[in-house]
Amino acid sequence: MTKNTIRGNGVGFLQFICPIICLASFFEIRSTSAASANQLSIMQGMTTESATQLSVVTGSREPLNYELHAPGSSPLLISSKEERFESPDQVLNSGLTARKVRFEGLELGINYHLIVRDQAGKILDERDLRTIDLKQAHPRIAIGSCLADKFLKRANAIWHRFDRIRPDIFFLIGDNVYASLLREVTPGKLWNRYFETRMRLPFYFQKNLTPSLAIWDDHDYGKNDGDRTYRYKEESRQVFEAFFAQDAVADVLEKGPGVAQSLRAFGQTFIMLDDRTWRSPKNAYENQTMWGTEQEQWLMAQAARSTNPLWIINGSEYFGVPGTAIESYSEKIPVSFQNFFLPWIRSLSRPFFLVSGDVHYSELVTLPASIAGIDTVEVTSSAMHSYRYIFKLPYKKNRLASTKNDNFIVIQPLESSDNSLHIKTTSYGSGKVIYFEREFTITK
């Protein structure tokens, strides 16, 4: 077993509109934790046809044993491969641990049963999981953001819907943890909020696990509207990586600068970006950037290498609304947006579309060729359960559909080639609600 301790020193104001937006939900009382007395917080991470990575969070330092059972077979034991991470602040977070484990030699089409035991052999938790066919042509890809653990009654409802939908893979694209509402947080406090969220949200206690990949936005970065000036950004990255099991896989998952990563699967290329580590401070007009030079070069290289359609995924919205306090690339970092982003997407040789979160409403906005180089779309998925946007949505000329209610979006490729992509987008709410459903064909 490998033990890792994240180092860090012990030690903004909300954007002015947020308290107003949040009034309708601010006083909602927290309900009890999703965890039972014996359950662990378990999340399935990067998964292929033959291997899977798991993240396990517990309030104990005791080593655990992991068994994966296939019907009619002996268990596969991998307790010797457990990697353990601990908080940088052992006064605040004594004994709180995040672990990563890996299973290999698996097969498609088998429903595996996971059993986690303590050192005495007592069963602590049981889950079911499957591997994933990365060559399938029509996967259901769920997109979610803004997972505030304050609103557990609503969280229970939307995660119950998620469990019924059973997507093939899930992308968490930011504000997966609400650590920074009023000011920046220290690494120890950030760890504590990651741990609390993992021990509260229903997703981490569902019987059927879902392969998942994550990037961050400001609230899980550690500073509200955080940027490159955040003094704990390196420690923050270490905390993030401790709680998500998404190590690189050759020719499938490539790690980029910061928490960025690129997935090649399903005949698509998914580029997931770090929108905080190098982000320019507000009102900084010199050397303005969303992603920083290194990540921009990495992004361009990933796109140039791809022979598949591109999904360009970011925490913040790309195309915002002038005159609002809502963060977006176009309105908050306009020089970089005009000088780097727009010329770059217009130069792309493959069909592409944009995916974003953050704004506490979901929407589909078409982007004409006069702006983006091709007729394409920005799909914004937000929020699964967070502070509600209570006003009328700011006007966008090309908005096709939207919802301010708790939801997640499932995007399914229906047809795909090197110069064309046909996708179906569906916004699922709690219960049996579908807020909108649209299909798009994007052609280069």
Taking 80 as the threshold, does the pLDDT of residue 160 lie above it?
yes
205-259 confidence digits (pLDDT tens): 999 999 999 999 999 999 999 999 999 999 999 999 999 999 999 999 999 999 9
Rounded Cα distance, 300 and 412, in Å: 25
Taking 70 as the threshold, does the pLDDT of residue 385 lie above it?
yes
Q: What is the pLDDT of residue 94?
A: 74
Q: What is the pLDDT of residue 78?
A: 60
Q: What is the pLDDT of residue 184?
A: 85
Rounded Cα distance, 206 and 127, in Å: 8
Q: Which of 78-92, 275-289, 347-361, 420-434 has the lowest mean pLDDT?
A: 78-92
Taking 80 as the threshold, does the pLDDT of residue 373 lie above it?
yes
Q: Give me the phi and psi of 410, to 5 degrees please.
A: -110, 125
Q: What is the pLDDT of residue 89?
A: 82
Taking 50 as the threshold, does the pLDDT of residue 270 lie above it?
yes
Q: What is the pLDDT of residue 129?
A: 97
Q: What is the pTM of this model?
A: 0.92
Q: Which of 34-48, 231-245, 338-352, 401-415 has the lowest mean pLDDT?
A: 34-48
Q: What is the pLDDT of residue 100?
A: 96
Q: What is the pLDDT of residue 124?
A: 96
In percent, the amount of the chain with pLDDT more than 70 equals 90
Q: What is the pLDDT of residue 96?
A: 87
Query: For domain 141-443, is the CATH number 3.90.1720.10?
Result: no
70-107 confidence digits (pLDDT tens): 888 777 766 447 899 998 887 677 788 999 999 999 99
Q: Spell out the domain ranges in the chain.
A: 41-129, 141-443
**What number is the average pLDDT over the span 15-44?**
52
- Enter the CATH code of domain 41-129: 2.60.40.10
Banded model confidence at residue 23, pLDDT cuts 50, 70, 90: very low
Q: What is the pLDDT of residue 221?
A: 97
| Bond prior to 137 in cis (omega within 30° of 0) | no
